[in-house]
Structures are given as C-alpha cells and as structure tokens.
Amino acid sequence: MIKVVELKDLTLGYNKVLFSGINATAHEGELIAIIGPNGMGKSTLLKSISSIIGVMGGEISLFAKSVDSYSHKEIANVLSLVPSNSPRTGNLSLFDMISAGTYNRTGWMGSLDEAERQNVLAVIEKVGLERYVYSDSSKLSDGEFQRAAIARSLVQQSKIILLDEPTAFLDIENKSLIIKLLKSIARNEGKTVIFSTHDLPLAIQMCDKIWVMGHGGFFEGTPNQLIEEGVFDTMFKDSSLRFDKKLLTLL
C-alpha cells in the first residue's frame, strides 16, 4: 500500500511546544480518527498537515514528498481540508458554494464548463443534497451544511481529505450519516480520510485506525489494538477515567 501521509517525529506548536513525538502513517483508502482531549492540538495537526501553519520540528510527507516542497496550488491538488464550523454565506446557492472546490481547475473568472457542472451536480447527489441545488446554502440544517462542506472538498478531487470535528454539534443520526459517508469515500474511491472527533465509540466502531493525542503521548493503531493496550486510559489527566475493555466493546 502507498504511504499517503507520513508524520516523522513531529512537534506541533508556535513559539511554544504544543505536542511532540508524533509518528504516524496513513495509507490509501484508510479512514482515520484523531482522538484526544480538548486543546491537545488536533486542529493544529490537521492545519499543519495542510501546510496552513508550520511545525516546530519533524517532517510531514505527502506521497513521500515533504509538504514544504509543495506550492499552494499543488497542496490543494492532493489535499483538501474541511475546517470546523465553516462560515455560512447568505444568498449563496448550494451549487455556487460547492463549486468553490473547483478553484484550482477553473480559469481567471472561476466559471464552470459543462463537464465541471455535471461533476458538481454528481457530488451533490452523492452527499444526498440534490433537493437543494439552488437553495440558499446558509439556510441548510447543521447536518446538511456539514455534508455540503464535505461535498465542496470532494469537488476538489484530492486524494487526501482532512476534516476538523465534522460531527460536532450533530445528532446521532446525522453523525452516523457523516461517518458512513466518509467511510464510503475512503472505501469506494480509495481516498485517505483523516478526521478529528470526540466521539470515541463512533471512531472505534467505524475507523480503520485511530491516532490518539492524549496526556500519555501519541499512539497509533487499530481500535482493537489500542483497547488491548489500554491506551485510552492514559488519554486524560484524570487517571480515574477508565475505559474498560467491556465498556468500549459495549459502546
């Protein structure tokens, strides 16, 4: 399998070290969750991988090439980022919102040709929002809007998709809808999907791999491996918080 993302001895932070000792890899077609307490640097890690912010040490490689050697445009061709709480714009149709993802391929005015239009419509259908193509995107529900934001990054046609807390503020039904969507993107289209979340049960149930950023350090493994090793117990400062094997499998 191709190593799509490789993190070597990474130290996150700006002026001050936020989190260090990150070693991880992501392969083609994998769905990976980043789990950890608030403020450990999950968003920072995602932004560092997308080269929006720099790192203090270590190396990030995308397709075996250092992230620093990519230009703005080249990054956008291999990687897309769905930030947490994307802003809504009134009177922007869902179609126009999602077509923003074609930025790298369109001309100076950003107009879409017929093939691109069909492409955008197909992605809208894939995320199940075809009823709202010309509706005001700012009036969508939280779950629908999150799917629209995912659609926008799918339109980018990058091999890697990073999502910052895509299931925050969503109800259980919408959460599972989003995760299933991400899973099918990874499985059926061979993309590498990495997302941060606080939803441990969902991550254990659905993901191929989990990256744990906790007080005990950085761990990478399949959900079962991590449960066996008791990694989740070391995640929080409060050591009385136990993630019993039984409890986790029950969840």
Partner 1 sequence: MANLKKLNKMLHIFKLSLPTTKMAKVGSNSRYLYKYAIATLCFAILLAANILLGSVSIPASDSISALLGNSTPDYVREIIWSFRVPKAITALLAGLALSICGLQMQTLFRNPLADPFILGISAGAGLGVALFVMGSSAFGIDISSSAYASFGMAAAGWTGAMGITLLIMAVSSRLKDNLSLLIFGIMSGSAVTAVISLLQYFSSSASLKSFVLWTMGSFSGLNQDQIYILTIMVICGLALSIYNIKDLNALLAGETYAKSLGVNLQFTRIRILTASTLLAGSITAFCGPVGFIGIAVPHISRMIFKNADHKVLLPATAILGAAIMLFTDTVSQLPGHSTVLPVNTVSALIGIPVILMIILKRKMQ
Query: Taking the complex as a whole, how short is the minimal distance between the CB of residue 173 and partner 1, in angstroms?
Result: 20
- With contact defined as beta carbons under 8 Å apart, do 164 and 195 qualify? yes
237 lines the binding site for partner 1 (CB under 8 A): no
**Contact residue for partner 1 among 110, 128, 201, 230 (CB under 8 A):** 110
Q: Largest Cα–Cα distance in the chain?
A: 59
Distance separating alpha carbons of residues 193 and 158, to the nearest angstrom: 11
**Amino acid present at 85:** N
Residues in 49-88 that interact with partner 1 by CB under 8 A: 50, 52, 72-73, 75-77, 79-83, 86-87
38 lines the binding site for partner 1 (CB under 8 A): no
Across 133-166, b (16+ Cβ under 10 Å) vs e yields eeeebeebeebbbbbbbbbbbbbbbbbbbbbbbb
Q: Which two tokens stand for residue 75?
A: 């990054």
Distance separating alpha carbons of residues 47 and 54, to the nearest angstrom: 8
Instruction: Please say which residue, 76 or 210, places its beta carbon nearer to partner 1.
Output: 76
215 lines the binding site for partner 1 (CB under 8 A): no
**Contact residue for partner 1 among 10, 33, 47, 185 (CB under 8 A):** 47
Residues in 126-185 that interact with partner 1 by CB under 8 A: 132, 134-136, 139, 152, 156
Instruction: Please say which residue, 95 or 219, places its beta carbon nearer to partner 1.
Output: 95
Instruction: Report the SS3 class of residue 199.
Output: coil
Q: Which two tokens stand for residue 144?
A: 């629908």
Task: Point out which residues bind partner 1 (CB under 8 A).
Answer: 47, 50, 52, 72-73, 75-77, 79-83, 86-87, 89-93, 95-97, 100-101, 103-104, 106, 108-111, 132, 134-136, 139, 152, 156
